[in-house]
Structure 1
Protein backbone atom coordinates (compact mmCIF):
# COMPACT_ATOMS: atom_id res chain seq x y z
CA UNK A 1 0.00 0.00 0.00
CA UNK A 2 1.28 3.47 -0.91
CA UNK A 3 1.87 5.88 1.91
CA UNK A 4 0.44 9.42 1.71
CA UNK A 5 3.98 10.63 0.97
CA UNK A 6 4.19 8.35 -2.08
CA UNK A 7 0.80 9.48 -3.32
CA UNK A 8 1.77 13.11 -2.93
CA UNK A 9 5.02 12.51 -4.79
CA UNK A 10 3.21 10.77 -7.64
CA UNK A 11 0.66 13.56 -7.92
CA UNK A 12 3.39 16.17 -7.98
CA UNK A 13 5.31 14.18 -10.59
CA UNK A 14 2.26 13.98 -12.84
CA UNK A 15 1.57 17.68 -12.38
CA UNK A 16 5.18 18.59 -13.18
CA UNK A 17 5.12 16.34 -16.24
CA UNK A 18 1.87 17.86 -17.49
CA UNK A 19 3.27 21.36 -16.99
CA UNK A 20 6.43 20.48 -18.92
CA UNK A 21 4.42 18.91 -21.73
CA UNK A 22 2.18 21.98 -21.96
CA UNK A 23 5.20 24.31 -21.93
CA UNK A 24 6.85 22.37 -24.76
CA UNK A 25 3.68 22.45 -26.87
CA UNK A 26 3.30 26.20 -26.37
CA UNK A 27 6.94 26.87 -27.25
CA UNK A 28 6.78 24.54 -30.26
CA UNK A 29 3.55 26.17 -31.42
CA UNK A 30 5.23 29.56 -31.44
CA UNK A 31 8.27 28.28 -33.34
CA UNK A 32 6.24 26.31 -35.89
CA UNK A 33 4.01 29.37 -36.40
CA UNK A 34 7.03 31.58 -37.07
CA UNK A 35 9.18 29.21 -39.12
CA UNK A 36 6.98 26.42 -40.40
CA UNK A 37 7.50 22.70 -39.96
CA UNK A 38 10.61 22.40 -42.12
CA UNK A 39 12.58 25.30 -40.68
CA UNK A 40 11.67 24.91 -37.02
CA UNK A 41 14.43 23.30 -34.99
CA UNK A 42 14.23 21.21 -31.85
CA UNK A 43 17.07 23.31 -30.42
CA UNK A 44 15.05 26.51 -30.62
CA UNK A 45 11.93 24.82 -29.26
CA UNK A 46 13.84 23.45 -26.27
CA UNK A 47 15.43 26.84 -25.61
CA UNK A 48 12.05 28.56 -25.54
CA UNK A 49 10.51 25.85 -23.41
CA UNK A 50 13.44 25.88 -21.00
CA UNK A 51 13.92 22.15 -21.36
CA UNK A 52 16.06 19.65 -23.27
CA UNK A 53 15.66 17.24 -26.17
CA UNK A 54 15.31 14.31 -23.78
CA UNK A 55 12.11 15.88 -22.41
CA UNK A 56 10.73 16.34 -25.93
CA UNK A 57 11.45 12.71 -26.77
CA UNK A 58 10.01 11.54 -23.45
CA UNK A 59 6.70 13.32 -23.93
CA UNK A 60 6.30 13.12 -27.72
CA UNK A 61 8.68 10.45 -28.99
CA UNK A 62 10.12 12.61 -31.78
CA UNK A 63 9.93 15.96 -33.51
CA UNK A 64 7.18 14.53 -35.71
CA UNK A 65 5.25 13.43 -32.65
CA UNK A 66 5.63 16.91 -31.19
CA UNK A 67 4.30 18.53 -34.37
CA UNK A 68 1.28 16.22 -34.40
CA UNK A 69 0.62 17.15 -30.77
CA UNK A 70 0.87 20.85 -31.66
CA UNK A 71 -1.59 20.45 -34.54
CA UNK A 72 -3.88 18.47 -32.25
CA UNK A 73 -3.80 21.42 -29.85
CA UNK A 74 -4.56 23.76 -32.76
CA UNK A 75 -7.64 21.77 -33.75
CA UNK A 76 -8.74 21.45 -30.13
CA UNK A 77 -8.41 25.21 -29.80
CA UNK A 78 -10.36 26.05 -32.96
CA UNK A 79 -13.01 23.31 -33.11
CA UNK A 80 -12.91 21.00 -30.12
CA UNK A 81 -14.40 17.61 -30.95
CA UNK A 82 -16.53 17.22 -27.84
CA UNK A 83 -17.97 20.69 -28.45
CA UNK A 84 -18.75 19.75 -32.06
CA UNK A 85 -20.46 16.55 -30.94
CA UNK A 86 -22.45 18.45 -28.33
CA UNK A 87 -23.68 20.99 -30.88
CA UNK A 88 -24.45 18.34 -33.50
CA UNK A 89 -26.35 16.21 -30.98
CA UNK A 90 -28.48 19.03 -29.64
CA UNK A 91 -32.20 19.46 -30.36
CA UNK A 92 -31.58 22.69 -32.25
CA UNK A 93 -32.35 23.01 -35.93
CA UNK A 94 -29.60 22.40 -38.47
CA UNK A 95 -29.36 26.13 -39.14
CA UNK A 96 -29.01 26.86 -35.44
CA UNK A 97 -26.28 24.24 -35.14
CA UNK A 98 -24.24 25.65 -38.03
CA UNK A 99 -24.85 29.16 -36.73
CA UNK A 100 -23.39 28.25 -33.34
CA UNK A 101 -20.36 26.58 -34.94
CA UNK A 102 -19.64 29.57 -37.19
CA UNK A 103 -20.00 32.02 -34.31
CA UNK A 104 -17.64 30.05 -32.09
CA UNK A 105 -15.00 29.67 -34.79
CA UNK A 106 -15.15 33.30 -35.90
CA UNK A 107 -14.82 34.59 -32.34
CA UNK A 108 -11.81 32.32 -31.84
CA UNK A 109 -10.16 33.53 -35.05
CA UNK A 110 -10.86 37.24 -34.63
CA UNK A 111 -10.49 37.83 -30.93
CA UNK A 112 -7.59 35.59 -29.91
CA UNK A 113 -5.11 35.72 -32.81
CA UNK A 114 -2.80 33.19 -31.18
CA UNK A 115 -0.11 30.97 -32.67
CA UNK A 116 -2.74 28.29 -33.27
CA UNK A 117 -4.16 29.92 -36.40
CA UNK A 118 -0.71 30.68 -37.81
CA UNK A 119 0.38 27.05 -37.43
CA UNK A 120 -2.74 25.92 -39.26
CA UNK A 121 -2.26 28.54 -41.99
CA UNK A 122 1.29 27.31 -42.60
CA UNK A 123 0.12 23.70 -42.73
CA UNK A 124 -2.48 24.60 -45.36
CA UNK A 125 -0.17 26.74 -47.51
CA UNK A 126 2.98 24.61 -47.19
CA UNK A 127 1.84 21.15 -46.08
CA UNK A 128 4.16 19.10 -43.93
CA UNK A 129 4.89 15.42 -44.69
CA UNK A 130 2.49 14.65 -41.83
CA UNK A 131 -0.56 16.07 -43.61
CA UNK A 132 -2.10 12.64 -44.38
CA UNK A 133 -2.01 11.77 -40.66
CA UNK A 134 -3.40 15.18 -39.74
CA UNK A 135 -6.22 14.79 -42.24
CA UNK A 136 -7.07 11.32 -40.98
CA UNK A 137 -6.89 12.02 -37.25
CA UNK A 138 -7.90 15.68 -36.99
CA UNK A 139 -9.74 16.94 -40.07
CA UNK A 140 -11.96 14.03 -41.11
CA UNK A 141 -13.52 13.39 -37.67
CA UNK A 142 -14.71 17.01 -37.69
CA UNK A 143 -15.95 16.83 -41.28
CA UNK A 144 -17.91 13.68 -40.44
CA UNK A 145 -19.73 15.61 -37.71
CA UNK A 146 -20.50 18.65 -39.87
CA UNK A 147 -21.63 16.90 -43.07
CA UNK A 148 -24.81 15.40 -41.54
CA UNK A 149 -25.79 18.90 -40.39
CA UNK A 150 -25.45 20.10 -43.99
CA UNK A 151 -27.53 17.12 -45.11
CA UNK A 152 -30.21 17.97 -42.56
CA UNK A 153 -30.28 21.60 -43.61
CA UNK A 154 -30.32 21.06 -47.38
CA UNK A 155 -32.05 17.71 -47.70
CA UNK A 156 -29.28 16.58 -50.04
CA UNK A 157 -28.63 12.82 -49.87
CA UNK A 158 -25.32 11.53 -48.57
CA UNK A 159 -24.14 10.53 -52.07
CA UNK A 160 -24.91 13.92 -53.65
CA UNK A 161 -21.69 15.79 -54.57
CA UNK A 162 -23.48 19.09 -53.93
CA UNK A 163 -23.20 18.28 -50.26
CA UNK A 164 -19.43 18.71 -50.61
CA UNK A 165 -19.95 22.02 -52.37
CA UNK A 166 -21.96 23.01 -49.33
CA UNK A 167 -19.04 22.02 -47.11
CA UNK A 168 -16.72 24.07 -49.33
CA UNK A 169 -19.00 27.10 -49.00
CA UNK A 170 -19.00 26.70 -45.24
CA UNK A 171 -15.23 26.31 -44.91
CA UNK A 172 -14.09 28.96 -47.42
CA UNK A 173 -14.83 32.23 -45.56
CA UNK A 174 -13.46 30.89 -42.27
CA UNK A 175 -10.40 29.59 -44.10
CA UNK A 176 -9.72 33.06 -45.46
CA UNK A 177 -9.78 34.45 -41.93
CA UNK A 178 -7.11 31.88 -41.04
CA UNK A 179 -4.89 32.39 -44.06
CA UNK A 180 -4.88 36.17 -44.32
CA UNK A 181 -2.53 37.93 -41.91
CA UNK A 182 -4.60 40.64 -40.18
CA UNK A 183 -1.50 42.84 -39.87
CA UNK A 184 -0.78 42.87 -43.60
CA UNK A 185 -2.32 45.41 -46.04
CA UNK A 186 -4.73 43.20 -47.96
CA UNK A 187 -8.14 44.06 -49.46
CA UNK A 188 -9.95 42.40 -46.55
CA UNK A 189 -7.72 43.78 -43.77
CA UNK A 190 -10.40 46.26 -42.57
CA UNK A 191 -12.68 43.34 -41.75
CA UNK A 192 -10.42 42.32 -38.88
CA UNK A 193 -11.22 45.55 -37.06
CA UNK A 194 -14.95 44.88 -37.20
CA UNK A 195 -16.82 43.24 -34.27
CA UNK A 196 -16.64 39.45 -34.28
CA UNK A 197 -20.44 39.23 -34.01
CA UNK A 198 -20.80 41.29 -37.20
CA UNK A 199 -18.27 39.15 -39.07
CA UNK A 200 -20.01 35.96 -37.95
CA UNK A 201 -23.38 37.35 -39.02
CA UNK A 202 -22.15 38.21 -42.53
CA UNK A 203 -20.48 34.82 -42.95
CA UNK A 204 -23.65 33.07 -41.82
CA UNK A 205 -25.71 35.02 -44.37
CA UNK A 206 -23.27 33.98 -47.10
CA UNK A 207 -23.17 30.33 -46.03
CA UNK A 208 -26.91 29.87 -45.54
CA UNK A 209 -27.75 31.58 -48.83
CA UNK A 210 -25.39 29.22 -50.61
CA UNK A 211 -26.79 26.14 -48.91
CA UNK A 212 -30.37 27.15 -49.72
CA UNK A 213 -29.33 27.68 -53.34
CA UNK A 214 -27.86 24.17 -53.50
CA UNK A 215 -30.98 22.71 -51.92
CA UNK A 216 -33.12 24.41 -54.59
CA UNK A 217 -31.26 22.90 -57.55
CA UNK A 218 -33.39 20.56 -59.71
CA UNK A 219 -33.12 16.88 -58.87
CA UNK A 220 -32.65 15.73 -62.50
CA UNK A 221 -29.27 17.35 -63.08
Structure 2
Protein backbone atom coordinates (compact mmCIF):
# COMPACT_ATOMS: atom_id res chain seq x y z
CA UNK A 1 0.00 0.00 0.00
CA UNK A 2 1.41 3.39 -1.00
CA UNK A 3 2.00 6.17 1.52
CA UNK A 4 -0.63 8.32 -0.16
CA UNK A 5 -3.23 5.53 -0.03
CA UNK A 6 -2.55 4.95 3.67
CA UNK A 7 -2.76 8.68 4.36
CA UNK A 8 -6.10 8.98 2.58
CA UNK A 9 -7.52 5.95 4.37
CA UNK A 10 -6.63 7.50 7.72
CA UNK A 11 -7.99 10.90 6.70
CA UNK A 12 -11.37 9.65 5.50
CA UNK A 13 -11.76 7.30 8.46
CA UNK A 14 -10.97 10.20 10.79
CA UNK A 15 -13.54 12.33 8.98
CA UNK A 16 -16.28 9.84 9.81
CA UNK A 17 -15.25 9.35 13.43
CA UNK A 18 -14.70 13.02 14.24
CA UNK A 19 -18.03 13.91 12.65
CA UNK A 20 -19.84 11.31 14.75
CA UNK A 21 -18.05 11.75 18.08
CA UNK A 22 -16.36 15.15 18.03
CA UNK A 23 -12.74 15.74 18.91
CA UNK A 24 -12.72 14.93 22.64
CA UNK A 25 -14.54 11.59 22.39
CA UNK A 26 -12.62 10.35 19.37
CA UNK A 27 -9.81 7.91 20.06
CA UNK A 28 -6.98 7.37 17.61
CA UNK A 29 -7.44 3.63 17.91
CA UNK A 30 -11.06 4.01 16.73
CA UNK A 31 -9.77 5.69 13.58
CA UNK A 32 -7.10 3.03 13.16
CA UNK A 33 -9.68 0.25 13.39
CA UNK A 34 -11.74 1.72 10.55
CA UNK A 35 -8.72 2.59 8.41
CA UNK A 36 -7.08 -0.77 9.15
CA UNK A 37 -3.77 0.82 10.11
CA UNK A 38 -1.73 1.09 13.29
CA UNK A 39 -1.15 4.11 15.52
CA UNK A 40 2.35 4.49 14.14
CA UNK A 41 0.88 5.17 10.69
CA UNK A 42 -1.26 8.00 12.11
CA UNK A 43 1.75 9.50 13.84
CA UNK A 44 3.85 9.18 10.71
CA UNK A 45 1.38 10.93 8.40
CA UNK A 46 -0.22 13.45 10.77
CA UNK A 47 1.93 13.71 13.88
CA UNK A 48 -0.88 13.44 16.41
CA UNK A 49 -4.65 13.50 16.88
CA UNK A 50 -4.81 17.31 16.97
CA UNK A 51 -3.03 17.75 13.64
CA UNK A 52 -5.18 15.01 12.12
CA UNK A 53 -8.27 16.89 13.30
CA UNK A 54 -6.98 20.10 11.71
CA UNK A 55 -6.52 18.32 8.41
CA UNK A 56 -10.03 16.89 8.62
CA UNK A 57 -11.48 20.36 9.19
CA UNK A 58 -9.65 21.63 6.12
CA UNK A 59 -10.92 18.63 4.15
CA UNK A 60 -14.51 19.43 5.11
CA UNK A 61 -14.19 23.00 3.93
CA UNK A 62 -12.58 21.90 0.67
CA UNK A 63 -15.38 19.37 0.12
CA UNK A 64 -17.98 22.07 0.73
CA UNK A 65 -16.49 24.20 -2.04
CA UNK A 66 -16.36 21.26 -4.45
CA UNK A 67 -19.83 19.98 -3.58
CA UNK A 68 -21.43 23.40 -3.85
CA UNK A 69 -19.69 23.97 -7.21
CA UNK A 70 -19.98 27.57 -6.13
CA UNK A 71 -17.70 29.37 -8.54
CA UNK A 72 -19.21 27.66 -11.56
CA UNK A 73 -22.75 28.39 -10.41
CA UNK A 74 -21.95 32.02 -9.75
CA UNK A 75 -20.28 32.37 -13.14
CA UNK A 76 -23.57 31.44 -14.83
CA UNK A 77 -25.23 34.50 -13.30
CA UNK A 78 -25.20 37.90 -14.97
CA UNK A 79 -25.67 40.44 -12.19
CA UNK A 80 -23.79 40.78 -8.87
CA UNK A 81 -27.15 40.49 -7.08
CA UNK A 82 -27.75 37.07 -8.65
CA UNK A 83 -24.21 35.98 -7.86
CA UNK A 84 -24.59 37.04 -4.24
CA UNK A 85 -27.80 35.02 -3.97
CA UNK A 86 -25.99 31.92 -5.23
CA UNK A 87 -23.40 32.35 -2.48
CA UNK A 88 -26.06 32.60 0.24
CA UNK A 89 -27.94 29.64 -1.26
CA UNK A 90 -24.83 27.46 -1.11
CA UNK A 91 -24.03 28.49 2.46
CA UNK A 92 -27.57 27.83 3.71
CA UNK A 93 -27.69 24.56 1.80
CA UNK A 94 -25.67 23.00 4.60
CA UNK A 95 -28.67 23.52 6.90
CA UNK A 96 -31.03 21.45 4.75
CA UNK A 97 -32.15 18.24 6.40
CA UNK A 98 -34.09 16.97 3.38
CA UNK A 99 -30.83 15.95 1.69
CA UNK A 100 -28.92 15.24 4.91
CA UNK A 101 -31.32 13.41 7.27
CA UNK A 102 -28.54 12.29 9.60
CA UNK A 103 -27.33 15.86 10.05
CA UNK A 104 -23.73 15.05 9.14
CA UNK A 105 -23.12 18.38 7.45
CA UNK A 106 -24.47 20.29 10.44
CA UNK A 107 -22.22 18.27 12.74
CA UNK A 108 -19.27 19.24 10.59
CA UNK A 109 -20.22 22.91 10.69
CA UNK A 110 -20.59 22.71 14.46
CA UNK A 111 -17.07 21.33 14.87
CA UNK A 112 -15.61 23.88 12.45
CA UNK A 113 -17.24 26.77 14.33
CA UNK A 114 -16.14 25.38 17.69
CA UNK A 115 -12.56 25.22 16.52
CA UNK A 116 -12.71 28.60 14.81
CA UNK A 117 -13.84 30.28 18.04
CA UNK A 118 -11.39 28.39 20.28
CA UNK A 119 -8.79 30.61 21.93
CA UNK A 120 -5.93 28.42 20.69
CA UNK A 121 -7.29 27.72 17.20
CA UNK A 122 -4.87 27.34 14.33
CA UNK A 123 -5.54 30.15 11.80
CA UNK A 124 -3.92 28.42 8.83
CA UNK A 125 -6.52 25.63 9.02
CA UNK A 126 -9.11 28.07 7.76
CA UNK A 127 -7.02 29.61 4.99
CA UNK A 128 -8.97 27.71 2.32
CA UNK A 129 -12.23 29.36 3.41
CA UNK A 130 -10.59 32.79 3.51
CA UNK A 131 -9.24 32.19 0.02
CA UNK A 132 -12.73 31.18 -1.11
CA UNK A 133 -14.24 34.40 0.20
CA UNK A 134 -11.43 36.46 -1.31
CA UNK A 135 -11.84 34.82 -4.71
CA UNK A 136 -15.60 34.32 -4.88
CA UNK A 137 -17.50 36.85 -2.79
CA UNK A 138 -15.11 39.79 -2.44
CA UNK A 139 -15.36 40.80 -6.13
CA UNK A 140 -19.17 40.59 -5.93
CA UNK A 141 -19.37 42.83 -2.87
CA UNK A 142 -16.94 45.25 -4.49
CA UNK A 143 -19.18 45.45 -7.56
CA UNK A 144 -22.31 45.92 -5.45
CA UNK A 145 -20.93 48.99 -3.66
CA UNK A 146 -19.02 50.35 -6.65
CA UNK A 147 -17.56 52.89 -7.27
CA UNK A 148 -16.36 52.70 -3.66
CA UNK A 149 -12.69 51.66 -3.67
CA UNK A 150 -11.94 51.89 0.05
CA UNK A 151 -10.45 48.47 0.99
CA UNK A 152 -11.61 48.74 4.60
CA UNK A 153 -15.20 49.51 3.60
CA UNK A 154 -15.23 46.63 1.12
CA UNK A 155 -13.72 44.26 3.71
CA UNK A 156 -16.24 45.23 6.40
CA UNK A 157 -19.12 45.01 3.93
CA UNK A 158 -18.01 41.50 2.98
CA UNK A 159 -17.91 40.41 6.62
CA UNK A 160 -21.32 41.91 7.38
CA UNK A 161 -22.99 40.51 4.28
CA UNK A 162 -21.73 36.95 4.77
CA UNK A 163 -21.94 36.65 8.57
CA UNK A 164 -25.72 36.31 8.56
CA UNK A 165 -25.57 32.65 7.58
CA UNK A 166 -23.33 31.93 10.58
CA UNK A 167 -26.14 33.02 12.91
CA UNK A 168 -28.51 30.65 11.12
CA UNK A 169 -26.05 27.81 11.75
CA UNK A 170 -25.82 28.72 15.43
CA UNK A 171 -29.61 28.70 15.78
CA UNK A 172 -29.90 25.34 14.04
CA UNK A 173 -27.30 23.83 16.37
CA UNK A 174 -29.22 25.04 19.40
CA UNK A 175 -32.67 24.10 18.09
CA UNK A 176 -33.27 21.60 15.24
CA UNK A 177 -36.43 23.44 14.18
CA UNK A 178 -34.22 26.09 12.59
CA UNK A 179 -32.77 23.53 10.17
CA UNK A 180 -34.30 23.91 6.72
CA UNK A 181 -36.73 21.08 6.06
CA UNK A 182 -37.44 21.50 2.35
CA UNK A 183 -36.03 23.14 -0.75
CA UNK A 184 -38.85 25.67 -0.43
CA UNK A 185 -37.49 26.60 3.02
CA UNK A 186 -34.05 27.01 1.49
CA UNK A 187 -35.37 29.28 -1.26
CA UNK A 188 -37.37 31.39 1.19
CA UNK A 189 -34.48 31.86 3.63
CA UNK A 190 -32.06 32.57 0.79
CA UNK A 191 -34.36 35.22 -0.68
CA UNK A 192 -34.92 36.81 2.74
CA UNK A 193 -31.22 37.06 3.62
CA UNK A 194 -30.31 38.18 0.12
CA UNK A 195 -32.89 40.97 0.19
CA UNK A 196 -31.76 42.05 3.65
CA UNK A 197 -28.07 42.07 2.74
CA UNK A 198 -28.55 43.84 -0.57
CA UNK A 199 -30.50 46.57 1.22
CA UNK A 200 -27.61 47.08 3.62
CA UNK A 201 -25.05 47.10 0.84
CA UNK A 202 -27.09 49.66 -1.06
CA UNK A 203 -27.15 51.89 2.04
CA UNK A 204 -23.36 51.56 2.39
CA UNK A 205 -22.91 52.49 -1.26
CA UNK A 206 -25.11 55.57 -0.85
CA UNK A 207 -23.36 56.62 2.35
CA UNK A 208 -19.96 56.39 0.68
CA UNK A 209 -21.08 58.71 -2.09
CA UNK A 210 -22.86 61.43 -0.15
TM-score category of the 2 structures, normalised to the smaller one: 0.7 to 0.9
TM, length-normalised to structure 2 = 0.73
| 1:189-208 matches, cutoff 5 A | 189-192=176-179, 194-208=181-195
What runs of 5+ residues in structure 2 fail to find an aligned partner?
Answer: none
What runs of 5+ residues in structure 1 fail to find an aligned partner?
Answer: 1-12
Q: Which residue does 1:27 correspond to in 2?
A: 13
CA deviation map 1:97-116 (0-9, x unaligned): 22223323333431225544
Q: Which residue does 1:157 correspond to in 2?
A: 149
TM, length-normalised to structure 1 = 0.70
Larger Rg: 1
Q: State yes or no: 1:178 paired with 2:165.
A: no
Q: Is the 8 A contact 1:103 1:197 kept in 2?
A: no
CA deviation map 1:52-95 (0-9, x unaligned): 22332344344344223211221022223994444455562212
> What secondary structure is seen at the aligned counterpart in 1 of 2:185?
helix
Q: Is the 8 A contact 1:24 1:56 kept in 2?
A: yes
Cα distance in 2 for residues equivalent to 1:140 and 1:132:
10
| 1:134 pairs with one of 125, 142, 149 | 125
Q: Which residue does 1:9 correspond to in 2?
A: none
The structure 1 segments of at least 4 consecutive aligned residues displaced by more than 6 Å after TM superposition are none
Cα distance in 1 for residues equivalent to 2:7 and 2:168:
29
Q: State yes or no: 1:94 paired with 2:83.
A: no
